[in-house]
Structure 1
């Protein structure tokens, strides 16, 4: 049996968490192998330090290709991001989607009492005892030099979905405050970004985001005209494993295109069940914010492929011999129709947040904007919702960002001053009157 070596090359700057991240990934893989039928390679050894850094030695699983190869345009330039083959046979697509759907059904079954990362507490026993380490948190440090002090502390776990949505919203504001270069283009652009983040934070803090698009949604503008049938999952003691980086390229296939191994479980943590009830973002392989023809075109094509995905999910659910905690196909269908898909996607991705908020969320939350509102001044249509202190803080942030734009530098923030600034901008936020 030939081993395969994985080493942690993603987290170069966040060195203090590289060891924890390796432990969390190893614990997740061991848990899945022990408690689910998901085909996870055996772990021969994992180490938090070695000559090449933290590493995991895995069983090598014989395969012919990965799921991305099966779905993508044939003979694409390997330097290009794979894109779903527009000419793929419908029957083939449905069969491949079903194979992924079976895995997602299995992943949705285990539940946990807290949000965070899995840790091996004792031999063969696992608990949620570490903070979530997300792909977005890693990007904030690697790509934008966001101070680590404003991210969740090392052993922080979360008791409710609302707590985690609030933490995600705080990190979006932290990105705006502390990314020095290449984020804001003008005062209006900065105000758009601030207002979107501030409103998102208020909605999270008031416990509204976790109910959006469910039967319990009695606050959003769209709830007055759209009636949904799926109930909000328990938000306080029943959460599911979620992998930020799970995608077709991580699924290795046999000659018959069956999934023989699911690899690369980094950035996996126990999350709000809401995340697992959305259709996967990767149905087209490429992320919406990077789609070459624009996000609207991505959404249009995604809508067509989602129909095939939902049929495949229904087949996968029928195959399951265990009682399912949720009818995933029904929840995923309503997630797309209601915009929950966009809410959760935006909540996890600071760099996609702005492209999504004003286009797919704002009017669902608060109703139609003024007909003559220009895109670069959408903030004017919602600024009245911020309250006096929120508007005052907006002016402070805009002035700071305009001053920063005069010089391209990397700023190393004093941890206490960074935390103080974030607290100052978010503290005293008033109740949002909708």
Structure 2
């Protein structure tokens, strides 16, 4: 199986890595200033930093005082990892305050938060919150048998949504792929409207990342993938879906859940990249059941290996969820989350939603998990691409795009100082590509 994922933009990564290193160097000599910042809100002068914690997008310090009270955690987003520093901190702090007020989800209590221009340490925006003692659930799952029960909570109330969705994938496209901030500063009234913007973002990503393709054939396949994703969208999204939309966290997983020795959940942390999302996102079977992102397994061992590993975990999860629903008296078929999640596996909407979240690996997800389900058998990806995008209506636009991407790739290699030769190659003649009998070619 061909690796259809996109490489990172090494030029962009080098630039942002220098920012990260500068921040780490500054933080290593700022212990007293960090303690003083925490002291200001504790109204004491004896705060001590007792541990440092570094995650995917943030670094934090645990602070202790000799007053018998609770420890606090002060957390800073990590430049070079987080691309929307002030916006991310402001939204996460607000959401944690909202969850603490309106739900029973055990989140850290926010003591204070501030933007970069209000932080005397020079370390950028920060959140000061209570420290929660607990064991990481992901570590427990990896080291011993899984717990017998999985808990759940629902968010009550109706918060005001007044800004665009700030997603993990937006952050990663800017951080690793060299894209500009190309997501509109707006809210969305329907699922179709928002998902349409994500599909457009897939095309923007392919166009803007300098090394998003590595050959003419690869470019045609990725071009066709985005055309086909748009063509199948309404198969998975009701066209009249105007809500209610659900609170959704892109990165909520066992690694963000803290439990005590009896496996009782004592804390749910890291609420960055949370937003109001189409109900299909929350209604899809969770990707994290195998504690690894699905596209990585599919890429390394193939789609069949992914399903062999994922589906037994999904069955176990749904059985636990159904038991929990019965405990809460949820007996009506249409009101049960387990029903929607089971359907998301059967009708492949879970993989469509996953492709929307994982923009940089949409090609792998689409070709391995969606294409033949939607359009019927194919002899090869090349055969599908030819049938879909070699029609007179779109052939010239496609080939103009392929030539522009090859030129862009040549310029990228030159700027990177890599001696690699790549040139535009015309498509193989039609007669050399076998045709599969069955459904007609999709109209895109």
> Which residue, out of 122, 142, 151, partners 2:183?
151
Report the counterpart of residue 166 of structure 1 in structure 2. 196
CA contact (8 A) 1:158 1:164 kept: yes
Instruction: Please list, as runs of the form range in 1=range in 2, the aligned pairs for 1:17-416 lying within 5 A after superposition.
Output: 17-49=84-116, 50=119, 51-63=122-134, 65-72=135-142, 74=143, 89=145, 93=146, 95=148, 98-99=149-150, 102-103=151-152, 106-107=153-154, 109-110=155-156, 126-148=159-181, 150-153=182-185, 156-181=186-211, 183-204=212-233, 207-211=234-238, 235-291=241-297, 292-320=300-328, 326-369=335-378, 373-383=379-389, 388=393, 390-408=394-412
TM-score by length of 1: 0.73
Q: How far apart are the structure 2 equivalents of 1:327 and 1:69? A: 29
Q: How far apart are the structure 2 equivalents of 1:4 and 1:259? A: 19
Structure 2 unaligned regions, length at least 5: 1-69, 416-441
TM-score by length of 2: 0.72
Q: How far apart are the structure 1 equivalents of 2:357 and 2:325? A: 27
CA contact (8 A) 2:325 2:331 kept: no
Higher relative contact order (CA 8 A, sep 6+): 1
Q: How far apart are the structure 2 equivalents of 1:395 and 1:305? A: 43
Aligned length: 342
CA contact (8 A) 2:74 2:129 kept: yes
What whole-Å deviation, never above 9, does each CA across 1:118-168 have from its counterpart, x for those lacking one? xxxxxxxx41001111111111111111122x3222xx1000000111011
Shift of 1:298: 2.0
Structure 1 unaligned regions, length at least 5: 75-87, 113-125, 217-233, 412-431
CA-based RMSD:
2.5
CA contact (8 A) 1:3 1:60 kept: yes
Shift of 1:191: 0.8
Shift of 1:321: 6.1
Report the counterpart of residue 7 of structure 1 in structure 2. 76
Shift of 1:202: 4.2
Shift of 1:331: 1.0
Greater gyration radius: 2
CA contact (8 A) 1:288 1:294 kept: no
Q: How far apart are the structure 1 equivalents of 2:335 and 2:90? A: 30
Q: How far apart are the structure 1 equivalents of 2:136 and 2:327? A: 23
Change in CA separation of 1:10 and 1:250 when aligned onto 2, cut-off 3 Å: farther
CA contact (8 A) 1:43 1:56 kept: yes
Change in CA separation of 1:13 and 1:310 when aligned onto 2, cut-off 3 Å: closer
Q: How far apart are the structure 1 equivalents of 2:97 and 2:147? A: 30
CA contact (8 A) 2:389 2:398 kept: no
Higher deviation after alignment, 315-324 or 22-31:
315-324
